Structure 1
Amino acid sequence: MDTILDILDELKPGVDWRGRTDLVDGRELDSLTIISLIAELEDAFDVVVPAVEIVPENFNSLEGIWALVRRLREQGL
Structure 2
Amino acid sequence: MEQLLEILSEIQPDVDYETCTTLIDDEWLDSFAILSIVSELEEAFDIGITPADIVPENFNSAQALYQMVKRLQEEG
TM-score band by shorter chain is over 0.9
TM-score normalized with structure 1 length: 0.96
Shift of 1:38: 0.3
Counterpart position of 2:15: 15
Once residues 54 and 14 of structure 1 are traced to their aligned partners in structure 2, the CA distance between those partners, rounded to angstroms, is 22
Instruction: Give the residue type in structure 2 aligned to 1:8.
Output: L
Shift of 1:14: 2.5
Which sections of structure 2, spanning at least 5 residues, go unmatched? none
3-state DSSP of counterpart to 1:4: helix
TM-score by length of 2: 0.97
Give, in whole Å, the separation in 2 of the partners of 1:56 and 1:31.
12
Residue type matched to 1:62 in 2? A
Give the letter for the 2:49 counterpart.
Answer: V
The residue type equivalent to 1:49 in the other structure is I
Query: In the alignment, which residue of structure 1 is the partner of 2:43?
Result: 43
Distance 1:32 1:14 in 2: 15
Aligned position for 1:33: 33
Distance 2:30 2:22 in 1: 12
**For 1:53 and 1:12, how far apart are their aligned partners in 2?**
20
Give identity over the alignment, percent.
46
Equivalent in the alignment of 2:69: 69
Q: Name the counterpart of 1:60.
A: 60
Q: Work out the number of aligned pairs and report it.
A: 76
